[in-house]
Amino acid sequence: MANESGDDHSSQPASTDGLDFAKFELSLHGMPEAELFRLMKTLEEQALVAVQDNADDSELFAMIEMVETQVEKRHPGQAMMPYKQWRETRGKS
């Protein structure tokens, strides 16, 4: 979440070691849409690196699945289209 200085720490998970999945999923429910989309973009970037490095990415892909589920709950019947549109227009940086 963004703090008063504007830093957005929640969309850049440093590590998934020992991740509490229930806590992570609960945090997604109250997350503003733009923050949820930034988190998804960050997780996708980390997943690409993990795959290239042959790293254990199972927790990372579980997090991606939880974010996808949250996006789909917010936009029923649209799959990931709202995120894809955001990524094309605002997520390129």
What's the token pair of residue 88?
A: 């094309």
Q: What is the pTM of this model?
A: 0.74
**Segments in 1-93 forming alpha helices (H):** 21-29, 33-52, 58-74, 81-89
In this predicted model, what pLDDT tens digit does every residue of 13-33 receive, in sequence order? 545 567 888 999 999 999 999
Do the beta carbons of residue 39 and residue 10 sit within 8 Å?
A: yes
% pLDDT > 70, the chain: 78
In this predicted model, what pLDDT tens digit does every residue of 58-75 receive, in sequence order? 899 999 999 999 999 999
